[in-house]
Amino acid sequence: TQLLEQSPQFLSIQEGENLTVYCNSSSVFSSLQWYRQEPGEGPVLLVTVVTGGEVKKLKRLTFQFGDARKDSSLHITAAQPGDTGLYLCAANFGNEKLTFGTGTRLTIIP
């Protein structure tokens, strides 16, 4: 069973600060997705990365796929209260299944 580890599990920072969360595995992914989940709602896709070394930007969010395709990171610049939520990575290891990480719960303090 492939495992996805996300770190940190919890993160609480002040508005305006920068942060990075991580998603790691001992196995190679064929693709990786990042989702954000807000209270009372289902996860919503932020981005999909498929190429080793790929970097994608979504406004203040920067997503990177590791060269070895075993890790990914999400960097948020100048965090805002609207960024608060549970961030989930989900990897495809070359089969039919999408495996989810345990998530990083982010709180931005105004």
Partner 1 sequence: EAQVTQNPRYLITVTGKKLTVTCSQNMNHEYMSWYRQDPGLGLRQIYYSMNVEVTDKGDVPEGYKVSRKEKRNFPLILESPSPNQTSLYFCASSSPINSPLHFGNGTRLTVT
- Is residue 106 part of the contact set for partner 1 (CB under 8 A)? no
The only residue of 55, 68, 78, 98 in contact with partner 1, by rule CB under 8 A? 98
- Closest alpha carbon to 63 in 29, 17, 20: 20
The pattern of x and - marking residues 14 through 53 that bind partner 1 according to CB under 8 A reads: -----------------x-x------xxxxxx--x-----
- Closest alpha carbon to 83 in 50, 103, 109, 65: 109
- Residue 10's identity, in one-letter code, is F
- Is residue 58 part of the contact set for partner 1 (CB under 8 A)? no
